[in-house]
Amino acid sequence: MRIRSELIISILIISIIPLSFVVYTSYNYSQETIRASIMDNLVGATENTGQAIDNWMDVRKSDIRVISQFGMVEYIEKEELHDYLNNLENEHEGVYKEFFLLDLDGNIIFSTKNHTGNVDSQQYFIEASNGRLYVSDVYIPEVTGSPEIIIANPIKKNNTITGIMAARVGLEQLYGIIEKIEIGTLGEVFIVNNKGDIIFHENRSMILHENIKNNFAVKEVTYEKNGIAEYVNYQEETVLGSYYWLPLYRWGLIVEMNRGEAYIEVLALGRLTVAISLFAILGVILFTIVISRRITEPIESLKDGAISLVEGNFKPIPVSSKNEIGRLTEIFNQTAKELLEIRKKLEMKIDMANKDLELKNKELVIANEELKKLDMLKSDFISLVSHELRTPLSAIRTSSEFLESEENADPGVQKEMLENIIRNVDRQARLINDILDLTKIEAGRMEFRFEQVDFKHMAPLAIENIRPIAQKNHITITEDIPDKLSTISADKEKLIIVLNNLLSNALKFTPDGGTIHLSAKEYQDYIEIKVKDTGIGIEKEQLEKLFDKFYQVDSPSRRKIGGSGLGLSISSEIIKAHGSKIHVESEPGQGSTFCFRLKK
Ligand code: ADP
């Protein structure tokens, strides 16, 4: 999982769980508090209304008691009583509907409404006759259709009941007081008697027409209990109902509020809590995202930087903060810079090593070429040596067989044959000597005995060696050696070999009628010796290889002329041992000049 996701999840867990717990607990607590306060209010309102009913009824009762004593009602003038009670009715309009006086037999002896008749079977008469004030059940008179009660009180004289004072009391005023109670738009307030009949309701038509005994609060209140509860009422609505028993009148006051409406504040609180929680959670999420981005962005940059470093296109990461990550970024940038420098150096070294390797490779190719050449030389050498050995041998054999034959006894011819044998033996000996000399020189085993050599005296010896053949071929030999020539430091015998080689080569490669010129010239520190001929010359590209072992310029015209290809190699090695070098200048058809310098 990515750090950012981990961070977000961790922060959310450590913030949202406690947050939710706090919100949930405080919501529950507030809900309970509000609920309790709503219930308290409802109970309070019910009790207050109950007391208001009690008060109102008390006033009515005390009115009747006062009237009952008014000038001993039986004995005052009827008209005076009439006026007094009419006034009272007017004063309490709508409350007192009628006052009437009963004798002990239940006959109406006086009525403000001039009613007559006998009511001895009425409960209020019976109860009042027994000496106490009595409040009747609610009833609805046919004439008005408005609920009323009758309050009856015995009239006493010297503790003897002399009559009954009764009043019909309209309940509309009382209802008006009850209806002031706050029950919301959906609530109901009603009063039931102890049988469960409705004796007060907003809907007056229900009064004494509906019995709601099954209502929970009605049951409770008819058991003469007070209290509050949540229940499903007679209209199948869930309500919060408060009930209050009025024992004096055997009435139960019931105030029901629609549960939803009652707890509207709780619901609003719930919504508010949910909204606040959502905002808080949203805030935490946003905060978490911002914080995680702040933390992970530099890490992401570091990761990208590391990748670009690996890929080789690193650019320094901008340092966005001064905290630990900022410091880490600085260190990373520094390290990356150093690494890049090291890398650069390494690449340069590798480059150099590669170039070196290339060079070595080229050298190896050249060496390989050399080896191939050497291999070819070896083959050439074998064929050349075998040829050079075989040719004189077959000549010797032919001459020997000729001598062996008795038929060829001519002394002249025999001498010629013998000379031929000797020449070929010499030729072989020369070749073998050449090979041995070169091997010795290359192995560093050839001994040089340096001495002061007078070249002026040495040159004729070398010329004499080739003169017979030169004369035979009409080749002119000239020399230009100053009389007073300084001596040179050289090995005389080896120097003769060199001169012989150069002169015999000049002879071999100069056609009849040509010229060979030997010269020596003195310089300050050395003497320069030159052998020049007017021979066939050598092509430019062959010049370098002339001094290689067994090298012979490969052309049919030259092949005819015998040789081992060792002469110049030996000469060159000898002159090298003298601390010098043989130079050659030549052009095909223009002759050749071989020259070397020797220290005085
Ligand atoms: P070789 O025994 O063949 O003379 P060298 O080493 O003396 O061997 O000479 C090598 C080759 O150089 C000869 O085979 C010849 O082709 C060439 N060369 C040497 N000297 C001359 C010269 N003066 N003129 C032309 N070619 C020469």
Instruction: Please write the tens of the pLDDT for every residue from 480-524.
Output: 999 999 999 999 989 999 999 999 999 999 999 999 999 999 999
pLDDT classification of 404: cutoffs 50, 70, 90? confident
**More reliable by pLDDT, 35 or 409:** 35
- Kindly report the protein residue whose alpha carbon is nearest to atom 11 of ligand 1: 552
Using alpha carbons, select from 82, 71, 76, 63 the residue that is nearest to residue 133.
63
CA of 565 to the centre of ligand 1 (A): 7
CA dist list (Å): 571 to 372, 487, 576: 25, 20, 8
Burial class from Cβ neighbours inside 10 Å (0-12, 13-18, 19+) for residue 569 reads buried
CA of 569 to the centre of ligand 1 (A): 10
CA of 566 to the centre of ligand 1 (A): 9
CA of 558 to the centre of ligand 1 (A): 8
CA of 196 to the centre of ligand 1 (A): 156
Q: Specify the ligand 1 atom closest to the Cα of 555.
A: 16
Q: Specify the ligand 1 atom closest to the Cα of 501.
A: 7
Q: Do residues 516 and 478 make contact, with C-beta atoms less than 8 angstroms apart? A: yes
pTM above 0.75, yes or no: no
Phi-psi region of 179 (alpha: psi -120 to 50; beta: other; left: phi over 0): alpha
Report domain 70-173's class.
alpha beta
Residue 40 has pLDDT above 80, yes or no: yes
DSSP 545: G
For CATH 3.30.565.10, the residue range(s) in the chain are: 447-599
Q: Specify the ligand 1 atom closest to the Cα of 570.
A: 6
Mind listing the pLDDT tens digit for each residue in 347-360?
999 999 999 999 99
The preferred substitution site among 504, 510, 568 for testing ligand 1, maximizing ligand atoms within 8 Å of CB, is 568
- Kindly report the protein residue whose alpha carbon is nearest to atom 7 of ligand 1: 567
Mind listing the pLDDT tens digit for each residue in 132-185?
999 999 999 988 889 999 999 999 888 889 899 999 999 999 999 999 988 888
Using alpha carbons, select from 178, 184, 186, 253 the residue that is nearest to residue 218.
253
Q: Which amino acid is at 450?
A: F
- Kindly report the protein residue whose alpha carbon is nearest to atom 8 of ligand 1: 565
Q: How far apart are CA 255 and CA 456, in angstroms?
A: 162
Mind listing the pLDDT tens digit for each residue in 117-132?
999 999 999 999 999 9
CA of 546 to the centre of ligand 1 (A): 7
CA of 10 to the centre of ligand 1 (A): 97
- Kindly report the protein residue whose alpha carbon is nearest to atom 16 of ligand 1: 553
Mean pLDDT of the chain: 88
* Cα-trace Rg, the chain: 77
**% of the chain surpassing 70 pLDDT:** 97
At a CB cut-off of 8 Å and minimum separation 6, what does 104 contact?
Answer: 129, 161, 162, 163, 164
Q: Specify the ligand 1 atom closest to the Cα of 531.
A: 23
- The SS3 of residue 177 is helix
Q: Do residues 124 and 134 make contact, with C-beta atoms less than 8 angstroms apart? A: yes
pLDDT score, position 487: 94
Q: Do residues 230 and 246 make contact, with C-beta atoms less than 8 angstroms apart? A: no
Q: Do residues 342 and 369 make contact, with C-beta atoms less than 8 angstroms apart? A: no
Taking CB atoms and a 6 Å cutoff, what residues make up the pocket around ligand 1? 501, 505-506, 508-509, 533, 535-536, 538, 546, 551-553, 558, 563-569, 592
Average pLDDT over residues 525-546: 93
Q: Specify the ligand 1 atom closest to the Cα of 558.
A: 16
**Fold that domain 447-599 belongs to in CATH:** Heat Shock Protein 90 (3.30.565)
Average pLDDT over residues 266-277: 84
Mind listing the pLDDT tens digit for each residue in 546-558?
898 777 776 545 5
Residue 430 has pLDDT above 90, yes or no: no
Q: Which helix (H) or strand (E) holds 183?
A: none
CA of 567 to the centre of ligand 1 (A): 8
For CATH 3.30.450.20, the residue range(s) in the chain are: 70-173
Residue 559 has pLDDT above 60, yes or no: no
pLDDT classification of 79: cutoffs 50, 70, 90? confident
CA of 563 to the centre of ligand 1 (A): 8
The preferred substitution site among 507, 509, 569 for testing ligand 1, maximizing ligand atoms within 8 Å of CB, is 509
pLDDT score, position 556: 47
Q: Specify the ligand 1 atom closest to the Cα of 566.
A: 6
Q: How far apart are CA 465 and CA 131, in angstroms?
A: 196
- Output the CATH code of domain 342-439: 1.10.287.130
Residue 39 tokens read as 């219930």
Residue 364 tokens read as 């190896």
CA of 542 to the centre of ligand 1 (A): 11
Using alpha carbons, select from 568, 551, 585 the residue that is nearest to residue 498.
568
CA dist list (Å): 577 to 346, 430, 545, 593, 599: 47, 21, 19, 21, 12
